[in-house]
Amino acid sequence: MAIDEETVDRQNEATLTGQLLRSFLILLMILFFGTGFAQAESQVVRVGVYENAPKVFMSESGKPSGIFIDIIEYIAKREDWDLEYVPGTWAQGLDRLARGEIDLMPDVAITADREKKFSFHKIQVLSSWFQAYARKDSGIRSILDLNGKRIAILEQSVQQEAFTRFSEGFGLRIKPVPVADYKTMFEMAARGDVDAAVTNQFYGAMHARQYGLVDTAVVFEPSALFFAASKNDPKQLLEAIDRHLSVLKKDTHSPYYNSLRRWTSEKVRFKVPLWLQILALIAGVALLMSLAGSLVLKRQVNARTRELWQINQEMEQRIIERTEKLEQANQKLLSEIEERAKTQKALFISETMYRDLVESANSVILRWTAEGKITFINKFAQQFFGFSEEEIIGQNIIGTIVPEVETSGRDLTSLVYNVAKDPKAYEGHVNENIKKNGQRVWVAWTNKHLMDESGQLVEILSIGIDITKLVEAEKELRDTMAQLDKAKVRAESADRLKSAFLATMSHELRTPLNSIIGFTGILLQRLGGPLNEEQEKQLGMVYNSSRHLLDLINDVLDISKIEAGQLNVVSEPFDLRESIEKVMKSSQPLADKKGIEFSSTIAPEIGVITSDRRRVEQILLNLISNAIKFTEEGYVRLRGEVRGNDIVIDVRDSGIGIKQEDMGILFNAFQQIESGTTRKYDGTGLGLSICKKLAHLLGGEIRVESEWGKGSTFSFILPKEGEKV
Amino acid sequence: MKENILVIEDNEQNLYLVKFILEKNGYQVHVATDGQAGIEKANDLKPDLILLDIQLPVMDGYAVAKNLRANPLTAKIPIVAVTSHAMVGDRDKAISSGCNGYIEKPINPDTFISEVELHLIKK
C-alpha cells in the first residue's frame, strides 16, 4: 500500500502546525509525568505499524498515524497501556504477531486461516469495501451503468478478481484496464482515459475529491477489519478494545468518529486557506469568522459522518444477512450431501444385490436390441454358451447363440424378427440355441420388451432356461410311447388272432364231437336198432368220454375268454328261483345214481334278480356237480337266502372235504386236489377256477368252508342288482 | 302228418344226424346245404320251422335269417340257429339277425327234440 504514502503526505501538510504543537505538549508531558506513569503498573503493548493510509501508516515525521492508531492510543491512555510501535511491512507484522514479538496488529480482516493463528476482538473497527469512483458527469449511478465501460483496476490485486466476479454476477461486459497504483487510476479517471476507477473505500474517501471524482453506488467485497492479537490474547487486550469500541461507536462525537472524519473528509476543512489558520492562531483576530466557518463545517462534517455511519451500518447489516444466508445454504448443502451419500449407499447396495442376482442366477439373461444386437449377457450365459463378454457384446444373436436354422428345419432368423415385432406372442417360447463349440441346446425363453417413456421399444430382455435334458427326455418318452403303441397294436392284433383261433378251434372241435355225441346218443336211444349188453356198455363209454371232451373244450374256451377279458356278462332281469330249480332238476339224476340225499331250501324272498342267467346257472351247476361228485354218502343240500343286497346260495355236502393245506390252491386252474383215496375223480380241474372268475365278473364271490373227512360248504354270493361289467 | 322242418346245414354228418333224429320223431325233413339254396327252399316249401347253421357257404346264417325275415312270405317262419359258434356275442348276433332260438352244437340227443319242439309249439 505504498501508493497511499504520497497523498497522505500532501494532506499532512495541513496539520503540520497542529501536530508540532501536539508533539511539543506530549514531550512536555513525558518530561514531567511520563517516567512516573511508566514506573506504575502500566502494561507494554507492542503494536505493528505498516503503510496503509489512512488506516495505519507512518507520517512524514515518523510518527505512527491513522484511524487504528488514533483508536488504540485512545484506549491505551484509558487502560494505562504503554504503546510500543514496531514498524515493518504488512507481512512482517503478521509474522511477528504469530511469533509473539508484537501484541497487536491493526487493520486485519478475519479469515479462517488467521483465526487459527491469531485472536480477534468482536466489535469491528471498520468496514472496508471496494468502491468505484467516476467523474461527476459520467452518469454512472449503479453497477448496471458500468456495462461496456472501461474501468481502471489495480493490477494483479484481489480487487481485480473480486470485481470481475462481481460484475459477471450481473452479466455485464466490462473492459478492465489494469493500472499499477491508485494514484494513476484516479488521474486516468480524471482525464477521461477510463470511465471509472476501483479503489478501497478509504483511499477513495480520502482522495477522490481532489481529482474531481465522486463515489458511485458500485460497492463490493465488503470485509470487517479488526485488531489482531497474539493467539489466545495473553495480555488480555481484546476485551478492553471491545469495551471501548462499543462505547465509542455509540457516540457520533466520540474520538472514534472524530478520527474517521479526520482521516476521510478533513480535506474539506483544510480547504480553508492556510494563512487564515495561521492568522487566527497567531493573532486570534478572526475568531468570529472562524467560528462561523466552524459551524458550517461542523454541519457538513456531521452530515458526512452520518452518511458514513449509515453506510457502515448498512454494510454490516448486509454482511450479517449474507453470512446468515450463506450459513443456511451451507447447512442445506451439508444435509443434501449427507442425504445424497445415504441414497448413494442404498443405491450401491441395491445395485450390488441385483447385479449379484442377475450375474449368478442359474438362468441365461440377455438384453438385445430390435435388430438383434446383444447389449448385455450375464455370467451364467457366458459360461453356458462359451462366449466371453468381449466376444459377444455388440454381436447379433443370430450366428452367435441362435443358429440360422433349427435342427427341425425351422427358420430362426425370422423368429428373432418376430420376437422383436410381437412381444406378446413370443412371451414364452422354446427354441434351439447353439454354443460356441457348435453344440445344440434347447432353451425355454421368456421375452419381455423394455420400453422408454414414450412407449418406444428400446430392448428385449430374454431370460432362458436350459431344457435340453428335458427335451431329450421328452423325445425318449415319445419314442417309448410310439414303441408302446406299436406293441399295443401288435398285442391287440395278437388278441384278435387268439380270439379268431379260439372261435375256429371251438367250431372245428365241436363239429366232429357233434357227430360222436349225436350218433352214440342215437344208438343208445335204440333209434338205430337194438343193442346187446356189451355194445351198450362200450357205446356208453364212448358217449361219456366225448361228453367229457366237450366239457374240457368248453372250460378251456371259458378260461381263455376270461383271461383275454373277452368274456362279457350280460345284466338282465330273470327269475333266480326258476334257475335254481332248473339246475336242481338237471342234477337230480346224478344224485339219484349215487343214492345221496339231494334237497334245497329256497327263501321265499328269492325271485327276480338282475344278472347273467346263463353264467349264474353255470356256476350253480358246477358247484352242485362238484358236491355230488365228491360225496359218496350222505347229502348235498342247497340253501338260498337274501342277506342285504346279496343273494347267498350255500351248497353243503357230507363229502370227503378239503384239507386245510389245500385250500390255497383250490381255485387254481387245472388243479384237482388229490383225494387221498385211490379213486381219481373225473373233471378238468378248471371248474372252480372258472366259477370264482365268473362270480367276480358278476360282482359276487365264491367262499368255501371245509373239514377234511366231514364235508364242505361252498357259498355263492351274488348281488341282487348286478351291474354290467 | 307232422310239420315240415327245413334244415340248412353244410356238414354232411351233422345234417344226417339232425335229419335222422327229426325223422325218427316223425317230422317231414327238407334239407339245403348252402344259404342261397336254403332261402329258395324256404320260399318254395314254407316250412313250419327252419333249423339254421351259421357257418354256411355262399351266404352265412345271419344273412339268411335277415333275408327270410325281410321277405313277407317267410317272415313268420320260426328260425332256430344250430351252431358251434360259441364265442361271445354269437347268441346275440343270431337273435338280432332274426332267429327265434339258439341250439349249441354239439347237440344233446337227449334234449334236442324237446328244444326243437319248444319253438314248434310257439307257432
Q: How far apart are CA A281 and CA A287, in angstroms?
A: 9
Q: Which of A414, A445, A466 is the last residue of a domain?
A: A466
Q: Mean pLDDT over residues B29-45, rounded?
A: 94
Confidence of residue A377 (pLDDT cuts 50, 70, 90): very high
- pLDDT reading at B36 higher than 70: yes
Confidence of residue A22 (pLDDT cuts 50, 70, 90): low
Look up cell 334236442; give the residue. B112
CA distance B85 to chain A (A): 6
Q: Count up the domains in chain A and report the number.
A: 4
Q: For residue A361, what pLDDT band results from cuts at 50, 70 and 90?
A: confident
Cell, residue A622: 358246477
Statement to judge: residues A481 and A604 lie in one domain: no
Residue A497 domain flag: yes
Query: How large is the average pLDDT for residues B45-65?
Result: 91
* Residue that has been written with the C-alpha cell 388272432 in this structure: A497
Q: Distance between CA atoms of A176 and A65, rounded to whole angstroms? A: 33
Main-chain dihedrals φ then ψ at residue B35, nearest 5 degrees: -60, -50
Please check the confidence at residue A600 and state whether its pLDDT lies above 90. Answer: yes
Q: What is the pLDDT of residue A624?
A: 94
C-beta atoms of B87 and A503 within 8 A: yes
- Interface contact flag, B85 A511, Cβ < 8 Å: no
User: Has residue A72 been placed in a domain?
Assistant: yes
Between CA A707 and CA A713 the distance in angstroms is 9
Rounded Cα gap, residues A42 and A83, in angstroms: 10
Distance, in Å, from the CA atom of A298 to the CA atom of A43, rounded to the nearest integer, reads: 37
In chain A, % helix, strand, coil (3-state, to 5) comes to 55, 25, 25
DSSP assignment of A492-510, as one string? HHHHHHHHHHHHHHHHHHH
Q: Residue A289: inside a domain, yes or no?
A: no
**Same domain membership, residue A544 and residue A593:** no
For residue A103, name the pLDDT band (cuts at 50, 70, 90). Answer: very high
Q: Among A242, A271, A300, give the residue marking a domain's end.
A: A271
User: Residue A75: pLDDT above 60?
Assistant: yes
Q: Which pLDDT tens digit goes with each residue over A440-454?
A: 999 999 888 888 888
Looking at A261-265, A324-328, A416-420, which range is the least confident one? A261-265
In this prediction, residues A128-134 reach a mean pLDDT of: 84
Q: A426, A449, A466 — which closes off a domain?
A: A466
Count: domains in chain B = 1
**A594 and A456 assigned to the same domain:** no
What is the number of helices (H) and of strands (E) in chain B?
5, 5
CATH number of A426's domain: 3.30.450.20
**Chain A contacts of B14, Cβ < 8 Å?**
511, 514-515, 518
Chain B residues with CB under 8 Å of a chain A CB are 11, 13-14, 17, 20-21, 24, 55, 84-89, 105-110
Among B14, B87, B108, beta carbon nearest to A511: B14
Which 8-state DSSP code applies to residue A721? B
A19 pLDDT tier (thresholds 50, 70, 90): low
Residues of B in contact with A510 (CB under 8 A): 84, 86, 105-106
pLDDT at A497: 82
Of the candidates A518, A561, A566, the beta carbon closest to that of B106 is on A518
Percent of chain B beyond pLDDT 90?
Answer: 56
Sign of CA dihedral A620, A621, A626, A632: positive
What is the domain extent for residue A702?
Answer: 568-719
Write down the ipTM of this complex. Answer: 0.71
- The DSSP call for residue A33 is I
Compute the average pLDDT of residues A61-82: 89
* pLDDT at A10 (0 to 100): 45
Give contacts of B20 with chain A, Cβ < 8 Å: 522, 527
Residue A82 lies in a domain: yes
Q: How far apart are CA A50 and CA A86, in angstroms?
A: 9
Q: Are residues A452 and A480 in the same domain?
A: no
Q: Which among A619, A690, A551, A512 has a CA at the least distance from the CA of B84?
A: A512
Interval A46-72 mean pLDDT: 86
- pLDDT band (50, 70, 90) for residue A29: low
Q: What is the pLDDT of residues A659-693, one digit of tens each?
A: 888 887 788 766 655 544 444 556 666 788 889 98
**Of the candidates A499, A514, A522, which has its C-beta nearest B106's C-beta?**
A514
The verdict on residue A325 lying in a domain is: no
When mean pLDDT is compared across A98-102, A454-458, A519-523, A591-595, the lowest value belongs to A454-458
pLDDT for A484 equals 93
**For residue B86, what is the domain's CATH number?**
3.40.50.2300
Same domain membership, residue A523 and residue A398: no
Rounded to an integer, what distance in angstroms lies between the CA atom of residue A301 and that of residue A304?
5
Cell numbers placing A74: 485512545
Structural domain that includes position B83: 4-122
CA A554 vs CA A67, A292, A371, A547, A587: distances in Å: 148, 167, 79, 10, 19
Average pLDDT over chain A, rounded to whole? 82
Question: For the domain that residue A700 is a member of, what is the CATH number?
Answer: 3.30.565.10
Cα distance between residue A8 and residue A85, in whole Å: 19
Give the number of other Cβ atoms within 10 Å of residue A325's Cβ.
10
Task: Give the per-residue pLDDT at A37.
Answer: 44
Q: Provide the sign of the torsion angle of the four alpha carbons B78, B79, B82, B83, taken in this order.
A: negative
pLDDT of residue A66: 87
Residues A81 and A223 in one domain: yes
Together in a domain, A166 and A245 = yes
A386-424, pLDDT tens digit by residue?
A: 999 899 999 998 889 999 888 888 888 888 788 877 767
Q: What is the DSSP letter of A408?
A: T
Pick from A501, A516, A517 the residue to mutate for testing the B interface (most B CBs within 10 Å).
Answer: A517
Same domain flag for A454 and A503: no
Band of residue A498 on the pLDDT scale cut at 50, 70, 90: confident
pLDDT at A132 over 80: yes
Residue with cell 485512545: A74
CB atoms near residue A63 (< 10 Å): 15
User: Does A434 share its domain with A543?
Assistant: no
Residue A3 has pLDDT above 50, yes or no: no
Same domain, A249 and A127: yes
